[in-house]
A = this chain, B = another copy of it.
Amino acid sequence: MEMTETDEVLSANLEFYRAFAARDATAMDALWARRLPVACTHPGWEPLRDRRGIVESWRRILDGSGAPGLMCHDEQVFLYGDVAIVVCEEEMRGGTLAATNVFAKEDGAWRIVHHHAGPMAPRRLKAPPRRSSRLN
């Protein structure tokens, strides 16, 4: 069964999180477009606007001692021809980030051209609030 464009983009997005979680800086480098313009906004950072700076930033992040141990979920693909946006959430030990990943076709492959992640406020609990106890 042939993959749809949406499947291909989801697969590229998964590769991105695989490289991230595996601290694989070489794979991360390969996922970013080579000729198309690229940008990257890490949580709390100024936007990075050049490939060299972006790859270097990832190398430093992935070399860091704090294990990322992250999971991506609730991915949704928005297609615009040869460009696609993936909106998703990144679950990390420190909390949840909202992420925007933009992919574009380069030499027939979906390459990442932009990543932007930022903190989400803590989720409202689905469960009813715990009763306060007079003993506490």
Contacts and interface: CB of A to CB of B under 8 A. Distances in A.
A81 B62 CA distance: 32
Contacts of A79: 37
A38 B104 CA distance: 17
B98 A116 contact: yes
Contacts of A89: 46-47
A39 B113 contact: no
Number of identical protomers = 2
Contacts of A100: 39, 41, 47, 100, 114, 116
B43 A118 contact: yes
A60 to B, nearest CB: 16
Interface string A82-115: 1101011100000000101010100000000110
